[in-house]
Amino acid sequence: MIGQVRDVPLSGDPASRYLPWTVGLLVFLATLAFAAGMFLASAGDTWRQDLSGTLTVQIPVSDKADRLEQVNAVAELLRTTPGVVFVRPIPDAEIAVLLEPWLGKQVLELELPMPDLIDVSVTRAADIDIAALSARLAQVAPGTVVDDHAIWLRRLTEFTLIAETISFAVMIVILISAVATVVFTTRTGLAIHSDVVEVLHLIGAQDSYVARQFQNHTLRLASAGAAVGFLLGAGIIWLAHVYGGKLSGGLLPELALGPGQWALLAALPVAAVLLVVLTVGITVKRVLGKMM
């Protein structure tokens, strides 16, 4: 078909032969980095939501006779504390589940001395003085500790922020690598086909006409590579979702992305291809701009 003629014979170029592979690999890595960043962001949010607005009261091991009485007294005192909306002593079986990743399923049969735990929910607006509350509870049950998870929350926030930043930085570096590769490939193509490009230029082709020749060629190759790279990356993420929970033994939240996050992830190869095509256009125009 006459309308499908490509004036610049780019398809046989050695440099562009590797373009789909390069773009595919980079999109694969960028997909994983982007997914890791989004997973860490949502995991951090989940952890923060789970922990903020909650207190854990820990009553040290005591004689079995006093134990129930102490727990009830502490719970009662907590219920009368302003800002507290929910108080629930955690049953031994539930504590055993929490300890299971470290001590195994037979934790209850070991008859280990375990502290009593009380799960407390407070209103978000409540500004409870933790030290004063601890002192009051210690009068009822000596040694009682109130944990508002502040240290854990701060460390968690710092950790997830650093990890997210690293993930997104890795993704940006990967995309910059893609741009650099494409600039090199395009410049090589321009050098190889300088005769044809000069003829097009001299018979009156606008720079955009020549650039489109390169962009169409790159669009075809990069799209194929990006599609394969994304599908491979998505496959790895799906495997992590299926097997990640089992491998982490419940220590980590579920390795899953929401529909919105999948949509963002699916936009990545499209954005990468657009970036690459845009880079080709700019590169060609910059090189041609040196001609009269």
Q: How far is the CB of 17 from another protein (least distance, A)?
A: 17
Binding to another protein, residues 273-292 (CB under 8 A): 289, 292
Does position 205 bind another protein by CB under 8 A?
yes
Residues between 1 and 20 that touch another protein (CB under 8 A) = 2-3, 5, 7, 9
The residue (of 123 and 208) whose beta carbon lies closer to another protein is 208
Shortest Å distance, C-beta 287 to another protein:
14
Q: State how far the Cα of 30 lies from the Cα of 32, in Å rounded to an integer.
A: 5
Q: Which is nearer to another protein, 94 or 198 (CB)?
A: 198
206 in contact with another protein (CB under 8 A): yes
**Would you say 77 or 193 has its CB closer to another protein?**
193
| Site size for another protein (CB under 8 A) | 20
Rounded to a whole number of angstroms, the minimum distance from the CB of residue 202 to another protein is 6
Task: Among 209, 238, 250, 270, indicate the residue that binds another protein (CB under 8 A).
Answer: 209
Q: Does residue number 202 form part of the binding site for another protein (CB under 8 A)?
A: yes
Taking CB under 8 A as the criterion, the residue among 102, 125, 195, 251 binding another protein is 195
Q: Which is nearer to another protein, 119 or 207 (CB)?
A: 207
Q: Does 190 bind another protein (CB under 8 A)?
A: no
For the chain, the first-to-last Cα distance in angstroms comes to 33
Determine the Cα–Cα distance for residues 111 and 75; give it in Å rounded to an integer: 24
* CA neighbor of 77 nearest in space, from 171, 22, 144: 144
Buried b (16+ CB within 10 A) or exposed e, 176-213: eebbebbbebbeebbebbeebbeebbeeebebeebbbb
Q: Which of 99, 114, 173, 196 binds another protein (CB under 8 A)?
A: 196
Stretch that binds another protein, among 56-64, 165-173, 195-203, 244-252 (CB under 8 A): 195-203
Pick 3 or 113: Cβ nearer another protein: 3
Nearer to another protein, 222 or 288 (CB): 288
Could you tell me the CA-to-CA distances from 34 to 37, 174, 268 in Å, in that order? 5, 11, 8
Question: Between 228 and 284, whose beta carbon lies closer to another protein?
Answer: 284
Stretch that binds another protein, among 89-97, 126-134, 197-205, 254-262 (CB under 8 A): 197-205
Give the binding site for another protein (CB under 8 A). Answer: 2-3, 5, 7, 9, 195-196, 198-207, 209, 289, 292
